Amino acid sequence: MSGPGAAGADGANGAKDPDAIKAEIDATRAQLGRTVDELSRRLDVPSRAKEGVYRARDTAVETYRESPPVVLGAALALVALTVGLVVWRSRRSDSGRTDPRRKR
């Protein structure tokens, strides 16, 4: 873009052809429209979150299709770990309540 004091098509006097000015305005308007669209897209958090969820889901489905036993094994390991942690915490909290040496 050129500033108001920049030399135009005529050289030293800075005068420009009206068609060139209109073309520059149209180009600037188009660029501004693209910039606004890009900013709107970046600031649309719910839409970006949905895109992330869809991407994660597609990745999981694709991984499952490539090697189902590995995915099932990992899921079972995760479930077993979760159950183990729940049981461990419940036993740990129960043991503190039934300890006769513990003062209340």
Say if 5 falls within a structural domain.
no
**57 contacts 65 by C-beta, under 8 angstroms:** no
- Report the candidate in 31, 27, 2, 29 with the shortest Cα–Cα distance to residue 16: 2
Say if 83 falls within a structural domain.
yes
Give the tens place of pLDDT for each residue, 47-96.
889 999 999 999 988 888 888 888 889 889 999 999 999 999 998 887 76
What's the whole-model pTM score?
0.36
Say if 64 falls within a structural domain.
yes
Say if 36 falls within a structural domain.
yes
**39 contacts 50 by C-beta, under 8 angstroms:** no
Say if 69 falls within a structural domain.
yes
Phi/psi of residue 11, nearest 5 degrees? 95, -115
- The CA distances from residue 96 to 5, 82, 99, in Å, are 82, 22, 6
Residue 31 clears pLDDT 50, i.e. is over it: yes
Say if 9 falls within a structural domain.
no
Q: Which domain holds residue 91?
A: 18-96
**Residue 77: CA atoms inside 13 Å, Cβ hemisphere, count?**
6
Domain count, the chain: 1
